[in-house]
Amino acid sequence: MRLVTAFRHDEFDKVDQAASADPFIEFLARIEQVPDVVTRRQRSYELLEIVPGSVILDVGCGIGTVSADLAALGARPIGVDAAEAMIWRPAGGSCSSTRTGTAI
């Protein structure tokens, strides 16, 4: 699968200054569905041995895919991301189970 994007990957640190965060969000939503990415993410959850109710900090939560997965596993994720656009405009979930992520 080849991912074609309308932005340069080295511009992620400028997402809040971009005219639109949509290209960034769309890219992250697509990359999170790549089979190898899904497999590695699922394996990381197994290695964490998540206990229901655990509070887990998702640093760099992006569009919230990992936070949404962790919440589905019974955890209470708290997402933080340097880009405010990633906190308030998630495409795949939210950066926390209550949508109260923090831009840092």
Q: Is 103 left (phi over 0), alpha (psi -120 to 50) or beta?
A: beta
Phi–psi pair at 24, nearest 5 degrees: -65, -50
Whether the per-residue pLDDT at 87 is higher than 50: the answer is yes
Sign of the C-alpha dihedral computed for residues 13, 19, 23 and 25 taken in this order: positive
Q: Are the C-beta atoms of 56 and 38 separated by less than 8 Å?
A: no
pLDDT band at 83 (very low <50, low <70, confident <90, very high): confident
Residue 100 sits at the vertex; the CA angle it makes with 22 and 34, to the nearest 5 degrees, is 45
pLDDT at 27: 83
Q: What value does the mean pLDDT take over residues 23-33? A: 85
Write down the pLDDT at residue 6.
52
